[in-house]
Amino acid sequence: MPQILLFLQRFLSLPLFWFLAVSAFTLTYFFAEHEGFYFSDDHSYSLYAHQLLHGGFHFDDYSFCHRFLVFVPTAFFYWLWGMNVYTTTLWPLLCTLGTLLLLYRTFRKEHPVATCWVLVLLGLYYFQLNTSNYLYPDNVLLFFTTACLLVLYKARNPLPTAKAEIYLGAGFAVLNLLAFLTKETIVYTVPFYLTLFLYHLLRRQNLRFWAMAAGTGILLLAGYFLLYKVFSGNALQRLYDIQATNTVETKQAYLNTRSATLLPRLTYEPFLFFVESGLAIPLAFAGLAGLGRKTRDFLSLSSPLAFWLTALGGMLLPIWFGTATVDFYKPMPLVPRMFHPLLPAFCLVAGLTVERIWPQRLPLLLLALLWGICALLASPNMVVMYLPLAVFFLGLFLWNRPWPHWLGLLAVAAVLCIRPVYFILKPTVSYYFEQKEMVDQHLRHGHGKYVVLMDSTLLGKFDYFYGFEVPQNYSFLEYASYPGLAAHSVDSVFLLINNGVLENHELMIKLREKDILPRFPSPRLIDQKGKVKLFLVPTPSN
């Protein structure tokens, strides 16, 4: 073998290389694709962090205000380095890198091949990267879910000492509480927890671990609900707020269409979701886990592959068939970030399967067929991911040689990078940085009285551009408020149009600049940055 191939064989088979490469790509994506602001959940969590730091935090009957592990660390970063988009999203980024580190340190020695594949499949998955630079709870929950599962992975076999059982049991309970303080969907891990507990109970293994975990968990939850009783007057305040988040309008709209949507959602739609979200790539590998194995091979959870398969099934079932509401049955929406707790199990099953079956020819053919089917089912945007994989693995099958696993890994990594790189190169959507520059340059007058007219989406989130400390001499109104209140007793009326926000199809805003400008008499353009425009609207006084 040529020297260069020997070098590649050694270098590209190192888990450390893939850990550093994927971490570097994550950091590149974080800074190069950062949108600044999403005008959605991130506003709420950032506001809570600001309130916590400067006073004024209170429960506002919305479920987000109970997710302390999202905004408390963010408040700490605000205190250290001030409030900006990078300190706002630093916590999700650290949790993303922390998840990669946990997986790398746990599996690098015993399963080096699987570790390489896990780091690539999870670390380069677009929607995991996408939620690394928004203040959302999903990557934070991913970190704590991974930590909880890895504790159980260590405890799947009899622990060496009673002290180890006690310490791990207490740590497991603490990690689950931290996950619960991040997002309620950690409860979807409970079926797997119970399965492993019964497995150990039948074999009388690690009973101290489970006793300590249960005892510590009961004490922690008792203290948690007691604090709610003291500070809010209702120990179950969080549960009531979760229920209240499902508004009457949302509930009725769902119930009116449930008969037509429920059956597809519980049967074939999740499969189509896996294809469209890109999860079909690790799922294809995971689907070959039973190839050449007998049923009894999966009865012992001491086997890493059996453990993670059980974790995958135990968590997938409640997410697939469970309810996302407490007062009526409504399955969880098929949104990629809702499936983040499943990513470690998905990718570990895939990696452990590759480690066992590579480089057998039959799996290569089956993978090519599976991705060929995905290419047929996928939308045109996703065909570019599945078709190259189908062709590549078919080529490996036809050209019968003992191909090294890193060759397939390079192909998968290249395909997974397509979407992140596309969005890095794609123009911004929110035009946050342009708008922030315009606000700092033109909308910070120290004296006088001013009105800024804007769309409804920006109106509810505009305080973020001022660090939630909006000048008292400014009023912010919708376009429709002109010429009533806006045209009297003010020094200037500004018209702010962020075409990036208006044209963002996810926000479903029908208003466009051509509809807005005719409402105002002779607006004068003051500044334009990208798709953000600021006009001065004539008033009787000027």
| Residue given tokens 């073998």 in the structure block | 1
pLDDT tens digit string along 198-240? 999 999 999 999 999 999 999 999 999 999 999 888 898 888 8
Position 485 scores a pLDDT of 59
Cβ proximity of 218 and 170 under 8 Å: no
* 6 or 464, higher pLDDT: 464
pLDDT tens digit string along 504-528? 887 778 889 888 998 888 889 999 9
Q: Token pair for residue 195?
A: 């399965």
Name the band, by pLDDT with cuts 50, 70 and 90, for residue 31: very high
Of 348, 386, 358, which Cα lies nearest the Cα of 370? 386
Name the band, by pLDDT with cuts 50, 70 and 90, for residue 110: very high
Report the pLDDT averaged over residues 387-413.
93
Position 5 scores a pLDDT of 67
Supply the DSSP symbol for 134: S
Report the pLDDT averaged over residues 303-322.
94
Cβ proximity of 479 and 518 under 8 Å: no
Average pLDDT, the chain: 91
Task: Map residue 535 onto helix, strand or coil.
Answer: strand
Position 246 scores a pLDDT of 64
Task: Map residue 455 onto helix, strand or coil.
Answer: coil
Checking if the pLDDT of 241 tops 70, the result is yes
Q: For residues 233 and 231, what is the distance between their CA atoms, to the nearest angstrom?
A: 6
Among 203-212, 221-230, 322-331, 467-476, the minimum mean pLDDT is found in 322-331
Task: Map residue 12 onto helix, strand or coil.
Answer: coil
Supply the DSSP symbol for 333: P
Q: For residues 541 and 385, what is the distance between their CA atoms, to the nearest angstrom?
A: 59
Q: For residues 73 and 86, what is the distance between their CA atoms, to the nearest angstrom?
A: 13
Report the pLDDT averaged over residues 187-192.
94
- Non-local CB neighbours of 385 within 8 Å, separated by 6+ positions: 278, 281, 378, 415, 416, 418, 419
Q: For residues 31 and 65, what is the distance between their CA atoms, to the nearest angstrom?
A: 28
Checking if the pLDDT of 1 tops 60, the result is no
Position 195 scores a pLDDT of 95
Position 12 scores a pLDDT of 84
Checking if the pLDDT of 244 tops 90, the result is no
Mark out the alpha helices in 325-431 (DSSP H runs). Answer: 343-357, 361-377, 380-398, 405-416, 418-425
- Chain centroid to Cα 228, Å, comes to 28
| Residue given tokens 């949507």 in the structure block | 261
Give, to the nearest 10 degrees, the angle between helix 207-232 and helix 190-203.
150
Task: Map residue 288 onto helix, strand or coil.
Answer: coil
Looking at the DSSP bridge assignments, the partners of residue 454 are: 478
Looking at the DSSP bridge assignments, the partners of residue 493 are: 451, 537
| Residue given tokens 């015993």 in the structure block | 110
Neighbour count for residue 59 (Cβ, 10 Å): 15
Name the band, by pLDDT with cuts 50, 70 and 90, for residue 487: low
Looking at the DSSP bridge assignments, the partners of residue 158 are: none
Report the pLDDT averaged over residues 386-393.
96
Position 336 scores a pLDDT of 93
Name the band, by pLDDT with cuts 50, 70 and 90, for residue 164: very high
Cβ-count burial of 83 within 10 angstroms (0-12 exposed, 13-18 middle, 19+ buried)?
A: buried
Of 132, 139, 125, which Cα lies nearest the Cα of 413? 125
Of 65, 72, 459, 70, which Cα lies nearest the Cα of 244? 65
Position 489 scores a pLDDT of 79
Which amino acid is present at 518? P
Q: For residues 119 and 348, what is the distance between their CA atoms, to the nearest angstrom?
A: 9
- Non-local CB neighbours of 534 within 8 Å, separated by 6+ positions: 438, 442, 443, 494, 495, 496, 497, 525, 526, 527, 528
